[in-house]
Amino acid sequence: MALEHAILVSLDERSGSGYELARRFEKSIGFFWAATHQQIYRTLKRMVELGWVTGHEVAQDGRPDKKVYEVADAGRAELARWLASPGEPETIRHDLSVKVRGASLGDPAALVDEVARHRDLHAERLDVYLAVEKKDFPDPSALSGRRLHQHLVLRGGIRAERALVEWCDEVLVALREDDRR
């Protein structure tokens, strides 16, 4: 599984606590890898046992103590190994497609609403990604290294969301057209 690797990548960019990692997964990392704080805490614990990261407690005043984690050499080695190892393309699980395929067994109007709702959600996400791109990567052609890689991943999110919005639109036109007949 790649959650460990996603955490390694994130910790390598900047060390942090489980809580901070969870926040990053809600925003930037979460654009391409979802994880809850529960998963992150459990995985960090295992990674310490494996020697991939080291953790030390940091006292804070006014706030609870936190444990800050850093990538260890063994973690960097594991990441390098994994980066070079071939992986399977993702297994797809797309609820909305199941719903569209089963459309004739339910209420057509309700399905149209559901597709329209997803269309708007994806359009919103697309806007967020485009705003991030404009703000953080104003001159893409000048990028290199880490910043380039971050931008490329964002580009993937943009392409994926755009494709989804367009697909939803295609579905909506077709379903409404079919309804009228």
Partner DNA sequence: GCCACCTATGCAACTTGTTGCACTGCACGC
Partner DNA sequence: GCGTGCAGTGCAACAAGTTGCATAGGTGGC
The entry of DNA, a copy of itself, none that residue 120 binds, CB within 5 to 8 Å by partner kind: none
Q: What type of residue sits at position 25?
A: F
Given a contact cutoff of 8 angstroms between Cβ atoms, the answer to whether 46 and 40 are in contact is no
Which region, judged by CB under 8 A, interacts with a copy of itself, from 41-49, 51-59, 111-119, 127-135? 111-119
The entry of DNA, a copy of itself, none that residue 138 binds, CB within 5 to 8 Å by partner kind: none
Does 95 bind DNA (CB under 7 A)? Our answer is: no
Cα-flanking dihedrals φ and ψ of residue 104, to 5°? -70, -10
Two tokens, residue 104 = 């004739």
| DSSP reduced 3-state for 90 | coil
CB neighbours (10 Å) of residue 17? Answer: 20
Q: For helices 145-180 and 108-136, what crossing angle results, to 10°?
A: 160
Binder among 14, 27, 32, 38 for DNA (CB under 7 A): 38
Q: Find the helix or strand (DSSP H, E) in which 10 lies.
A: helix 3-13
| Alpha carbons 158 and 138: distance in angstroms, whole number | 15
Beta bridge partners of 69: 16, 55
Q: Which of residues 53-92 bind a copy of itself (CB under 8 A)?
A: 76, 79-80, 82-84, 86-92
Does 116 bind a copy of itself (CB under 8 A)? Our answer is: no
Does 98 bind DNA (CB under 7 A)? Our answer is: no
Which region, judged by CB under 7 A, interacts with DNA, from 14-22, 98-106, 108-116, 118-126? 14-22
CB neighbours (10 Å) of residue 52? Answer: 25
Q: Which residues bind a copy of itself (CB under 8 A)?
A: 2, 5-6, 8-9, 12, 30-34, 76, 79-80, 82-84, 86-107, 110-111, 114, 117-118, 121-122, 125, 144-146, 148-150, 152-153, 155-156, 159-160, 162-164, 166-167, 170-171, 174-175, 178, 181
Q: Which residues bind DNA (CB under 7 A)?
A: 1, 3, 17-20, 23, 34-39, 41-42, 44-45, 60, 62-67, 91, 93
